[in-house]
Amino acid sequence: MEQLQINNIPENETDRQFYFIEQAKKYVENLTEELGRTPTFCVTTFGCQMNARDSEKLVGILEQIGYEEQDTEDADFVIYNTCTVRDNANQKVYGRLGALGTKKKKNPHMRIALCGCMMQEPSVIEKLKKSYRFVDLIFGTHNIFKFAELVVTMFQSKRMVIDIWKDTDQIVEDLPIERKYKFKSGINIMFGCNNFCSYCIVPYVRGRERSRKPKDIIQEIEKLVADGVIEIMLLGQNVNSYGKNLEEVDRMTFAQLLLEVEKIEGLQRIRFMTSHPKDLSDELIEVMKNSSKICRHIHLPLQSGSSRILKEMNRRYTKEQYLELVEKIRTAMPDVSITTDLIIGFPGETAADIDETMDVIRKAQFDNAFTFIYSKRTGTPAAAMENQVSQEQVKESFDRVLETVHEMTASRAAAMVGKTVEVLVEEQNEHDHNLVTGKLSNNTIVHFPGDPSLIGKLVSVKIEECKGFYYFGTMESEGESRYEYAVER
């Protein structure tokens, strides 16, 4: 393809990226002519909500520069936004990448990009350079805001383009974003993590904790609400430490930020993720309790119920402190749902430690628990610990824990049957088109008869039947149902 002249590049980073969006548009126009049709892209996201939000940024840029989205990976430009929190996430990427390579052999004009957390690991880059030469562009988590510029570089280069930064203190605002849902959106309130839990790779691949300014967050939400969003999810690895590294003029706590967000007219529901138990304040509980918009759900990862293991994990709370916190939350908000993450098989974990975890599961009465088998992440302190647990022991503990979790969550969920609650309708049911699927304030899912015109609306639904993790119900009324919802609490 013909090379374009690049000159007079703006200094301000946002302007700079808009400049490259214009450049990239010209390359995509040329490609359109060459192919005789609009070129397509497909972004595949692995991992957490932060990655999902990052993918929306990629889609925003790709649509701006003239690509058209498609669901399948036989697109002209395929991007994998990767996760590396557990090894199986990595293996999935390598597996699917092999299949993409075969596709590219048949369609040489196809382009492939990889980004996200996995790319921040030097060993991954080495492997890609050696065995996956067909990848066109590789970048990391810190320079995702440069995507438009990187795409231009990719068009100009015949070789693999690799740009990975070790860290960044930049937060670039106001770049294009294309939301997956019209009526709800995630919002980053902070990036990175400073906690260094001993098993976790996130601080290494996402860098140090950086909070966005309250003003930027509020402005972004206001814009989203003006564009039809009624539910937002505030995102951070540890939202409870929001604001700590802001300059004095901007500084506020997470609870104070929630109060500001609550004031936004037209916004109906506020969610947030994730809460680290060590930083969840009384102030936050109070704000939540008095709020009519903050959803009745706290995701509060426990990881282990054994104080000894928690210490080894560097979680900085004990079993007792965690249970006290749960008690405090439930006393303030009896209808709150508390969900958690558990890791089974951390180095040195014994059957007695698992007993402690099960004790917490029973006492805390979790509404749901995501149970993960410990995965050794190179470079983390836990990877160097000597007493790694055998596979058989992990399997046995995992099954024991899962059984307890299922018993617990099923009995918690059953308590909702017969109640009428507020539901945000999210989509048509995949299997039965006469049903729609929505979410309760407490984040559980309900299916009920309805048509797609309800999508994006808050409706009142009577919960009729509990299926363990989800419900069947019937709609009682359409439209905003604040009153009935308030009665329900």
Ramachandran category for residue 410: left, alpha or beta (phi over 0 → left; psi -120 to 50 → alpha): alpha
Q: What's the token pair of residue 469?
A: 């993790």
The SS3 assignment for 242 reads coil
Choice from 110, 117, 313, 389 touching ligand F3S (CB under 6 A):
117
Q: Where are the beta strands (DSSP E) in 219-354?
A: 231-235, 269-273, 297-299, 337-344
Go through 344-362 and write b for each residue having 16 or more CB atoms within 10 A of its CB, e for each that does not: bbbbebeeebbebbbebbe
Nearest distance in Å: CB 254, ligand SF4: 14
One-letter identity of residue 199: Y
One-letter identity of residue 300: L
Interface with ligand F3S by CB under 6 A: which range of 22-30, 199-207, 290-298, 383-391? 199-207
Nearest distance in Å: CB 123, ligand SAH: 16
Backbone φ, ψ for residue 430 (5° rounding): -60, -40
Scan for tokens 């203190």, then name that residue: 169
Sign of the C-alpha dihedral, residues 147, 151, 154, 156?
negative
Nearest distance in Å: CB 223, ligand SAH: 27
51 contact, one of ligand SF4, ligand F3S, ligand SAH, none, CB 5-8 Å limit per kind: ligand F3S
272 contact, one of ligand F3S, ligand SAH, ligand SF4, none, CB 5-8 Å limit per kind: none
Map the footprint of ligand F3S across residues 30-69, applying CB under 6 A. Answer: 47-48, 50-51
One-letter identity of residue 333: M
Using the rule CB under 6 A, is 195 a contact of ligand F3S? no
Residue whose CB is less far from ligand F3S, 64 or 211: 211
Integer Cα distance of 280 and 336 in angstroms: 15
Backbone φ, ψ for residue 110 (5° rounding): -65, 145
Integer Cα distance of 104 and 22 in angstroms: 27
Q: What's the token pair of residue 75?
A: 């697109």
Nearest distance in Å: CB 279, ligand SF4: 9
Residue whose CB is less far from ligand F3S, 241 or 404: 241
Binding mask 133-172 for ligand F3S (x = CB under 6 A): ----------------------------------------
Nearest distance in Å: CB 279, ligand SAH: 10
Integer Cα distance of 193 and 118 in angstroms: 16
Kindly list the residues in this chain that would bind ligand SAH in the complex (CB under 6 A). 85-86, 199-200, 202, 237-238, 274, 276, 301, 303, 341, 343, 372, 374-375, 377
Nearest distance in Å: CB 400, ligand SF4: 23
Nearest distance in Å: CB 170, ligand SAH: 22
Burial of 201 (0-12, 13-18, 19+ CB in 10 A): buried
Residue whose CB is less far from ligand SAH, 354 or 421: 354
Choice from 43, 59, 83, 234 touching ligand F3S (CB under 6 A):
83
Q: Determine which helix (DSSP H) or strand (DSSP E) holds 73, and give its type and residue range.
A: none
341 contact, one of ligand F3S, ligand SF4, ligand SAH, none, CB 5-8 Å limit per kind: ligand SAH
293 contact, one of ligand F3S, ligand SF4, ligand SAH, none, CB 5-8 Å limit per kind: none
Beta bridge partners of 114: 80, 138
Kindly list the residues in this chain that would bind ligand SF4 in the complex (CB under 6 A). 193, 195-197, 200, 202-203, 237-238, 276
Scan for tokens 């400073």, then name that residue: 194
Using the rule CB under 6 A, is 206 a contact of ligand F3S? yes
Integer Cα distance of 120 and 37 in angstroms: 35
203 contact, one of ligand SF4, ligand SAH, ligand F3S, none, CB 5-8 Å limit per kind: ligand SF4
83 contact, one of ligand F3S, ligand SAH, ligand SF4, none, CB 5-8 Å limit per kind: ligand F3S
Nearest distance in Å: CB 325, ligand SF4: 16
- Tell me, rounded to whole angstroms, the distance of Cα 206 from its chain centroid: 13
Ramachandran category for residue 51: left, alpha or beta (phi over 0 → left; psi -120 to 50 → alpha): alpha
Site residues for ligand F3S per CB under 6 A: 47-48, 50-51, 83-85, 117, 202, 205-206
